[in-house]
Structure 1
Amino acid sequence: MSFQRFLCIATDRPGDPRYERLAASPVLKVKGYSLLAKRPNYAVYGNAHMHSMVEQSRNVILLGTYYSRNGDHLSSLEGIALPRPLLSFSAMLDNIWGSYIAVQEDEDGQIFLFRDPSATLPCYMLRCGDGLTLAGSDVRDLYALSSVHPTLCWPHIARRLRTIQYRDHQTALHEVTELLPGHVTSLSKRQEAVPLWSPWAFVETNQRIFDPVQAAERLRDIALSTVQANGKRFSHALISLSGGLDSSIVSAGLAGADIPCSAVTFLSGTASGDEQRYASAVAEFLGIPLFVRHLDDYPIDITQSDAAHIPSPTGRLFWQSADQIVREVVNETKADCHFHGGGGDNVFCYLQSVAPILDALYVNGAGAKAVSVMGDMGRLTNSDLWEVFGRTWRRRLTGRRHYRWPIDDSLLTNAAAEIGKVDFRHPWLEAPKTALPGSTAHIALLLAIQNYLEGYRHEQLMPVIAPLLSQPLVELCLRIPSWMWAENGVNRAVVRKAFEGRLPQSILSRRSKGTPDGYSMALYERHRPQIRAMLHDGALAREGLIDLVAVDGILAERMPIRGEAYARILSFCDFEAWIQAWA
């Protein structure tokens, strides 16, 4: 169950008795929905936490949270031309941003649904057949209302196992599809969704910001304004603060606007997961109370998936403990929302490949700039210049500019690869012929983060805000050339420069990143026998997707853990738990 929930019932046949029956269903009241608007061919509902704006005269309904381009909370669509759906939604993209869904009926009675580009408000659809469609943010509510029984989509589950971060319109439930961010679709006719917002519009040469001073200044202003716009509507925010750059920026934005907030940091009991000194430095610098919690004090049940309320598994067992901590500290502080810095690495173009060098070559030619960027990427990746030159030359010879999404077939069977074929037809991956390699990689990062924006238990209890994925900030960062983000061999260099004086120097100069690896390894060690039994008796093995012989070989190793196989096996457990929740 999502915290902010909407539900829409639509039919292509006004007067359809099935539509009328669903619109009058007691399930809606039981699930906490109230009617927002009703027409002969569609009805829109929201729960008590869902903000809405209904413009009866123009047949427009806006759901979620929405702001004007100057950061003010939007109270009216007055002044925005809304002639018919596609033009109306394009006008919204130019004038507002936020986390929203828009519904509009055209002059022919066709109902269109648009999802904003941020990906932070879920939108799923369940086609009931014969022109009847349900759409909403909570999949279990769609099934409850429709009385349709969920069926697992094994080809998609196999694809998720192979490409855990890739996300398209398909889900792991056969009846459910996702309306992708920035896309519009017809609810009354079965048509393919169309992208109205595209990241490619912001990486064109005439959109670029080549002045590093201007880039840093604009980034600082937009980052602060979007964080603060998101924070103003709450009485007290809880921030997950690792002391990393991204969560520190979110903290600076809230504290700088005197928005009441507290922070929490998680300790894992290992050196790689202990970031308390960094989090403490930020909290002290900004004057924010900091709560410190040990993950080991909060048990994980590997037979349960926190993503059981969404239509695809996420493979994130280790976040169960952090989720419990967030809920506990929210109760302690009386916070009414949770902010985090998720997506920062993605929006701020954290690349460790030769793509930025190739961008500099294509834009500036084989001169001093390209050599300088080669040196920057060498320092960033701890590689010598000749090694970087060799990788750059080999990639340049291929002529490849598009992004090649990684596929992981480790510990899977040949059958998984066969039924889980991926075509990677997502519009964001369809690079123009003149696309720069760094831009294609940057855009792929924006797609990859979407798998981490939902699938947490506490998101059912409070608003969870990822302000660094706000549309104005994403659009600005796409305009900044990839090589500028690695200037002087420093990752996310533009944002570090932007926040000089607003964060402790120890944070701005920090190069290391905390990881949950040590904590996950300990979780794996504690549960080896249970993991083996769970996977042997589970659906993944029964469907022939995982290689049990290979898995058993890894589980039988008693030497110190090496490599990433342990994490892979833990993700299998989360898949199994998710499958059991929906079976």
Structure 2
Amino acid sequence: MTRKSKHDYYRHYHLSDPSGPAKGVILGRLFSKCQNSEENASKEEAPLISLSRLLETEGKSLTDNYWGNYIAFISRGSNNYVQLDPMGTFPCFMTRSSNVTTISSTIPDLLTATERPYSINCLVIGRYLRYGLERSQTGLSEIGKVLPGQFLKFSPFGVTISYPWTPLDYCNRGEDIDPSRASVTLRQLLCSTTQALAAPHKKILLKIGGLDSSLLLSCLSHTRSADDLSAITIYQDCPMGDERRFVREATGKVSIPLLEYPETASRLDEDQLSAAPLTALPLYYAQHGQFEKRLTEIIEEENFDAIFTGHAGDEILYAAATSYGAMDYLYNRLFPIKLFSFMMEAARMQNRSVWSLFPEILRSRFNKQPWSFYAQHGHGKSRLLDPDLQDQIRPGKDTHPWLTREASIPPGKYYHLFPLTKGLYALEFMGHAEDPPPVIMPYLSQPFVEYCLSLPSWRLTSDGMDRGLARLAFKNFVPDNILKRRSKFSSAYYLRTLVELNFDFIRDTLMDGLLVQNRIIHRQSLEQLLSKEQDTDTRDQAWLINFLNTEIWARKWENMGRFR
């Protein structure tokens, strides 16, 4: 079930099978993959999709010919089918009670449709707090998620899961490319997909800050003007938290209005934090509550019907300051004649010497073990989480089918696709409003993701710059100061101020809260951290804010009256 929205963005594409009893519907927005244009949006149907073919291919005919954010529901005889788009931006939750499976795009609607009690899944919450990236499960034991790209078949004999789309089919396997030609294609593809996504909207608000959103601004400005495109940026009272100099240059180049919002730390209270809607995992209640409130007001005042964001740009454009470029170049080559130049670029990105990188690069050439993010990048124990819980959530092998090791795929490509397996991009994490306008993330356009996966990592980080190929692609389209910028936005000062201002509230909320009672937080370690005699460092401040967000989330569920 999906909630009716006043913004009327999502369409219903009705499917039927003239030769059989199957019927279905696709909810969302579909675009033709061959033309990057919206398909049949006005007719609310998709006659070019063969329902029988879709079922025969277990969804592959849909992902091969169309892209967008969508979920498909199909029924044939005693079998029912569900397919989620490969990027997984469309939230899709499910629960089973009394032999009935209920699927919904929002948690409030799921609760309305069911009457069962719910309980915290302490292992999932512990993993979420410890590793951050893990959002492929919900924090409730009784609620599951349909994951990006899944095709589910519900039959009298149970549920079977397949993946009709896999990023492994598109991953570069060591082939080099001409960076000049690739940069032109990258820019043209990002512009065409962004403009296709923008076409249904009358007035767009772009969240802008760094490089990724500035590239989107360039794409949008080709078909938009100051009348139907504006930008908004957040700034904080510290140099690393203030990007206005770059943002003003970007918006000034294309002459669109810019809204600037000062984000300052304020006193928190539980009623204020609990005002956000109920979700499957914690939101950033403490950090951005005031901004989200003001954003909602701006949207209402100015009649914006879409929010565009550069979310996922870091991952898709390859903002990794690592040695993967050099590793991948060496991986499948007997005579790596350009290896030293790519080692130099890796060293420049990491501010390390070339020779300090050489051992790890050489080892990668002979390592054919299944790739694991946690094994490669390490995650020790946290002193704040309960020791017994940590023993149960230690990362093992990454078991997602997309991470199945193929000998011809170099390790940097697994690093590239890894975020796609973790449910990071579901729209439930994009805002606090009950009925916000659609949040559009062009970097997750399926054709663009497929193209970026096909590019070698050493070219994506051209000239020793993270997102180097993207910088090359938008030369002369985006101001040079933005393209040459190496620094990243940091909220460390803001978090420190927020913790200092609300130290007593955080201590009182956490010390005997649900996370301590459920043995997710180690009470003694927390008490030691929160002692007035001990100053908290930047890492501890981030932990405390994440704990506070999670505690508020758990209490919201407890206050539902259907918590056990």
TM-score where L is the length of structure 2:
0.89
Q: 2:171 — aligned with what? A: 203
**Cα distance between partner residues in 1 of 2:187 and 2:424:** 24
Query: Is the CA contact 1:401–1:435 (under 8 Å) kept in the aligned structure 2?
Result: no
Which residue of the other structure, out of 387, 392, 400, is the alignment partner of 1:426?
A: 400
Q: 1:233 — aligned with what? A: 200
**Cα distance between partner residues in 1 of 2:450 and 2:492:** 32
**Cα distance between partner residues in 1 of 2:525 and 2:112:** 40
Which residue of the other structure, out of 71, 75, 90, is the alignment partner of 2:60?
A: 90
Q: 1:56 — aligned with what? A: 16
Which residue of the other structure, out of 232, 242, 248, is the alignment partner of 2:214?
A: 248
The verdict on how the C-alpha distance between 1:580 and 1:166 changes in structure 2, with shifts beyond 3 A counting, is: same
**Cα distance between partner residues in 1 of 2:145 and 2:549:** 21
Which residue of the other structure, out of 359, 377, 381, is the alignment partner of 1:409?
A: 381
Deviation at 1:559, TM superposition (A): 7.4
**Cα distance between partner residues in 2 of 1:320 and 1:375:** 43
Deviation at 1:78, TM superposition (A): 3.0
Whether 1:499 aligns to 2:463 is: no
Q: 2:501 — aligned with what? A: 526
Query: Is the CA contact 2:75–2:81 (under 8 Å) kept in the aligned structure 1?
Result: yes
**Secondary structure of 1:364's match?**
coil
**Cα distance between partner residues in 2 of 1:288 and 1:300:** 35
**Cα distance between partner residues in 2 of 1:191 and 1:421:** 28
1:384-533 aligned within 5 A: 384-396=353-365, 399-400=368-369, 402-405=371-374, 406-407=378-379, 409-410=381-382, 411-423=384-396, 424-448=398-422, 450=424, 453-455=427-429, 456-458=431-433, 460-533=435-508
Moved more, 324-333 or 399-408: 399-408
Deviation at 1:458, TM superposition (A): 3.0
Which residue of the other structure, out of 183, 187, 191, is the alignment partner of 1:216?
A: 183
**Cα distance between partner residues in 2 of 1:55 and 1:549:** 58
Query: Is the CA contact 1:68–1:74 (under 8 Å) kept in the aligned structure 2?
Result: yes
1:4-403 aligned within 5 A: 6-7=1-2, 50-57=10-17, 59-69=23-33, 70-75=35-40, 76-84=45-53, 85-87=55-57, 89-106=59-76, 108-130=77-99, 132-168=100-136, 170-189=137-156, 190-203=158-171, 205=173, 210-242=177-209, 244-258=210-224, 260-296=228-264, 300-301=268-269, 304=273, 308-314=277-283, 317-365=286-334, 367-396=336-365, 399-400=368-369, 402-403=371-372
**Cα distance between partner residues in 2 of 1:386 and 1:175:** 51
Structure 2 counterpart of 1:409, one-letter code: K
**Cα distance between partner residues in 2 of 1:540 and 1:470:** 37
Deviation at 1:47, TM superposition (A): 10
Structure 1 counterpart of 2:206, one-letter code: I
Query: Is the CA contact 1:116–1:182 (under 8 Å) kept in the aligned structure 2?
Result: yes
Deviation at 1:143, TM superposition (A): 2.0
**Cα distance between partner residues in 2 of 1:377 and 1:572:** 35
Identity of matched residues, %: 27
Deviation at 1:433, TM superposition (A): 3.5
TM-score where L is the length of structure 1:
0.86
Query: Is the CA contact 1:347–1:477 (under 8 Å) kept in the aligned structure 2?
Result: yes
Structure 1 counterpart of 2:348, one-letter code: R
Structure 1 counterpart of 2:341, one-letter code: S
**Secondary structure of 1:454's match?**
helix
Consecutive unaligned residues in structure 2, runs of 5 or more: 559-564
Query: Is the CA contact 1:346–1:449 (under 8 Å) kept in the aligned structure 2?
Result: no
Moved more, 47-56 or 407-416: 47-56
Deviation at 1:434, TM superposition (A): 3.4
The verdict on how the C-alpha distance between 1:235 and 1:279 changes in structure 2, with shifts beyond 3 A counting, is: same
Deviation at 1:280, TM superposition (A): 0.3
Aligned length: 538
The verdict on how the C-alpha distance between 1:160 and 1:363 changes in structure 2, with shifts beyond 3 A counting, is: same
Query: Is the CA contact 2:90–2:426 (under 8 Å) kept in the aligned structure 1?
Result: no
**Cα distance between partner residues in 2 of 1:502 and 1:32:** 39
Query: Is the CA contact 2:195–2:220 (under 8 Å) kept in the aligned structure 1?
Result: yes
The verdict on how the C-alpha distance between 1:562 and 1:158 changes in structure 2, with shifts beyond 3 A counting, is: closer
Deviation at 1:537, TM superposition (A): 1.7
Deviation at 1:325, TM superposition (A): 3.2
Deviation at 1:302, TM superposition (A): 6.0
Q: CA RMSD in A?
A: 2.5
The verdict on how the C-alpha distance between 1:578 and 1:370 changes in structure 2, with shifts beyond 3 A counting, is: same
**Cα distance between partner residues in 1 of 2:534 and 2:123:** 35
Query: Is the CA contact 1:308–1:582 (under 8 Å) kept in the aligned structure 2?
Result: no
Cα deviation, 1:485-540, whole Å, max 9, x if unaligned, reads 22211110111111111111111111111122211111111111111111112111
Deviation at 1:543, TM superposition (A): 1.4
Query: Is the CA contact 1:245–1:507 (under 8 Å) kept in the aligned structure 2?
Result: yes
**Cα distance between partner residues in 2 of 1:78 and 1:171:** 35
The verdict on how the C-alpha distance between 1:350 and 1:217 changes in structure 2, with shifts beyond 3 A counting, is: same
